[in-house]
């Protein structure tokens, strides 16, 4: 299991006091970076890049990898073939609309599991010009076709969180009657509060019974993707669907690494994710996809373990005082950087780090020059620039 080293967690006792005792439970992680994540505007991954990401996800401890939608293009079809032949430990899942030809393409590739999606909100049905009864027929037909091909189905109810609840109940029960074995609650537009996510997951579990695994698939339009996913888990969801770095359309999908960290560190749930590799995986996916992330991004932002302000640097030797968990927990490195807000300790630590000798008086001079340079360039002072400032003291 990807359990964290509790010696590297410094969150105090407030969460335990607020939450009380909860029985630890394993939560599965279903990654859709290669399908929903690639729908990020401007991102196009070729088959070789998708295979590389799939291998990263597999080593990362992801339980299920959504390989993609084979009918999108010949390249997507080839990418799935390559992943299928890579002998990954993770389960490889396909993606299909409620269309028999989509299901046949999944079966032809030899995949044994797929989600089958169909919209269920009246807003979506109206936009598509499809009646409720017709959508139920399509769901029934597609799921039955998958079962006939020997393909396991998780029914994916698009826009669940804006659907009429009585119709949504009919949808899930129709999919199960046709042979689906799992169901997915889908917050397509990212509108669900954590309370709403919990409410809906609990309702769906009551409709489908305790033996049917329920997934939660969320988006981050209101910045609540991680919180909603955690609420869904606490309400009984067995799987969380999401992506690396939260990539996806609009404001993105739920970030699976964020969810895994919070579930384990703050709530005591278990996942298989190997969090010590999160920075490596995050960086490589960004490189392949061609985007950058804000430096203050939770978990993988470059600033999380870098300290500039003098007050923080003065406590740098006691990481527990200025950080909620250890950098080693997520494969990051701690660093002191120099800038406008640096203090005397910043200069001392940087001198020690770079093997530079400076007297207390010289350190005071260096601090003033660092502040002046940082203000002038509107940014940090690099190590090379600091070395230059030290040479100028002679």
pLDDT of 21 reads: 77
| d(C-alpha 157, C-alpha 96), whole Å | 12
- Answer whether 346's CB lies under 8 Å from 317's CB: no
Instruction: Give the H/E segment covering residue 114.
Output: strand 113-119
pLDDT of 2 reads: 52
pLDDT of 271 reads: 97
From 48, 394, 31, select the one nearest 248 (Cα to Cα): 31
Collapsing DSSP to helix, strand or coil, 356 comes out as coil
**DSSP code string of 194-215:** HHHHHHHHHHHHHHH-TTS-EE
pLDDT tens-digit readout, 26-56: 999 999 999 999 999 999 999 999 999 999 9
Q: Give start and end residues of each alpha helix (H) in 85-193.
A: 100-108, 122-128, 132-148, 165-178
| d(C-alpha 285, C-alpha 282), whole Å | 5
**DSSP code string of 56-98:** HHHHHT-SEEEEE-TTS-HHHHHHHHHHHTTT-SSEEEEEEES
Sequence-distant (6+) residues with CB within 8 A of 92 are 64, 65, 67, 80, 83, 84, 111, 113
From 103, 115, 50, select the one nearest 80 (Cα to Cα): 50
Q: What angle do CA 126, 127, 131 make, to 5 degrees?
A: 35
- Answer whether 325's CB lies under 8 Å from 8's CB: yes
Residues (pLDDT < 70) of the chain are 1-2, 394
| d(C-alpha 159, C-alpha 119), whole Å | 6
Q: CB count, 10 Å around CB of 173?
A: 15
| d(C-alpha 112, C-alpha 46), whole Å | 23
pLDDT of 24 reads: 78
Q: CB count, 10 Å around CB of 153?
A: 26
Ordered domains of the chain (ranges, CATH): 6-289 (3.20.20.70), 306-391 (no CATH)
The torsion angles phi and psi of 388, rounded to 5 degrees, stand at: -65, -40
| d(C-alpha 59, C-alpha 61), whole Å | 5
- Answer whether 90's CB lies under 8 Å from 59's CB: no
- Answer whether 217's CB lies under 8 Å from 155's CB: no
| d(C-alpha 117, C-alpha 81), whole Å | 21
pLDDT of 213 reads: 98
pLDDT of 392 reads: 86
């Amino acid at each position: 299991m990807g359990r964290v080293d509790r010696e590297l967690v410094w969150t105090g006792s407030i969460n335990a006091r607020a939450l009380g005792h909860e029985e630890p439970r394993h939560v599965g992680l279903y990654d859709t970076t290669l399908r929903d994540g690639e729908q990020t505007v401007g991102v196009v991954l070729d088959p070789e890049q998708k295979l590389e990401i799939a291998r990263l996800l597999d080593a990362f401890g992801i339980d299920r990898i959504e390989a993609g939608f084979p009918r999108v293009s010949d390249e997507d079809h080839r990418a799935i073939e390559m992943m299928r032949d890579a002998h990954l430990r993770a389960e490889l899942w396909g993606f299909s609309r409620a269309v028999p030809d989509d299901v046949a393409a999944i079966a032809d590739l030899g995949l044994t599991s797929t989600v089958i999606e169909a919209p269920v909100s009246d807003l979506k049905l109206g936009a598509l010009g499809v009646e409720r009864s017709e959508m139920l027929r399509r769901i029934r037909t597609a799921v039955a076709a998958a079962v006939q091909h020997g393909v396991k189905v998780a029914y994916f109810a698009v826009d669940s969180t804006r659907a009429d609840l009585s119709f949504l109940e009919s949808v899930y029960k129709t999919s199960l009657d046709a042979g689906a074995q799992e169901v997915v609650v889908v917050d397509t537009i990212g509108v669900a509060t954590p309370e709403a996510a919990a409410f809906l997951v609990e309702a769906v579990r009551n409709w489908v019974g305790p033996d049917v695994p329920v997934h939660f698939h969320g988006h981050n339009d209101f910045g609540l993707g991680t919180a909603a996913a955690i609420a869904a888990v606490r309400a009984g969801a067995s799987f969380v669907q999401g992506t690396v770095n939260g990539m996806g359309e609009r404001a993105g999908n739920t970030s699976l690494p964020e969810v895994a960290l919070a579930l384990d560190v703050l709530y005591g749930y278990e996942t298989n994710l190997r969090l010590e590799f999160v920075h490596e995986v995050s960086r490589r996916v960004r490189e392949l996809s061609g985007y950058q992330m804000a430096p203050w991004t939770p978990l993988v932002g470059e600033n999380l373990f870098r300290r500039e302000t003098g007050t923080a640097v003065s406590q740098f030797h006691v990481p527990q005082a200025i950080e909620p968990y250890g950098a080693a927990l997520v494969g990051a490195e701690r660093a002191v950087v120099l800038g406008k807000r640096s203090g005397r300790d910043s200069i001392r630590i940087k001198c020690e780090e770079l093997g530079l000798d400076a007297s207390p008086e010289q350190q005071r001079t260096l601090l003033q020059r660092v502040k002046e340079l940082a203000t002038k360039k509107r940014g940090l002072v690099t190590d090379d620039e600091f070395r230059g400032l030290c040479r100028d003291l002679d």
